[in-house]
Amino acid sequence: MPEATPFAALGAGNGFPSCIEKVDMTQPTSSFTWAPPITNPLTLNQVMSLYWNLYGIVGTASVTGADEITQSDLNIPDTDAPPYRVCPGTYSDSRELIRAGGGGSTNQRVGVASYIIAMYDGVTTDEGNFLGYAMNSGERPFEVAYCYAYGQGTKEVILFAGYVPAVTDDNGWIQLSPIFSVYGPSVLTLTNVTYQGIPFIKAELALDPQAPVTATITDVTLYT
């Protein structure tokens, strides 16, 4: 893992470069409903480690056949190293490969954003309702990384930090996933995983799981 350059900076007094929004997870927003929340809340130390130190993912997306395409692992570029994250924003990278003739593609993305929420199970003025923290990716809600492969079948793995839509919330998944957006409901499993001491929720989606496509995320990498 890469070693980060030590630095000091003034922030918002909460460990981050911007304020943290408090959210009552039992109340609907103008565009969707939080409740019932599917959460794997982060502690303050965990969400700080993820924001400041995330470097990349260990994962693979591949399509086999006459013209195989495979991409493995993905890192946030050095231009978005920890010292540059003192400014509120999104720090990420993505990579897409398309097979000749348009017969398949793979796509990977990893990123963090300074939009962090404190989740509450009820009114935010009562700290007894506090659940923990979640982090938005800045592109698709609370997604830190994904691996996606499309060929004769389709597979996608999404890694979430702190919050994920309910399994039965098709509208939420249509906003998040190419598989749901294009093909409608598909095989979906949600699993709690821990990488580098940080809990995530891993969503795995597939159409025709027996087809020669692969998408996996097995770890994250952090600056030390």
pLDDT of residue 102: 66
pLDDT of residue 49: 95
Domain count, the chain: 1
pLDDT of residue 14: 85
pLDDT of residue 171: 81
Domain containing 99: what range? 21-222
176: nearest Cα among 154, 156, 194, 198 = 156
* Distance (Å, whole) CA 106 – CA 147: 8
pLDDT of residue 211: 82
Q: What is the mean pLDDT of each run of 10 residues along the chain (224 residues)?
A: 75 83 87 77 95 96 85 95 92 90 86 93 96 84 93 93 88 86 86 96 90 94 95
Q: Is residue 1 part of a domain?
A: no
Q: Is residue 7 part of a domain?
A: no
Which three-class secondary structure state does DSSP give residue 136? coil
pTM: 0.91
Q: Is residue 10 part of a domain?
A: no
Which three-class secondary structure state does DSSP give residue 171? helix
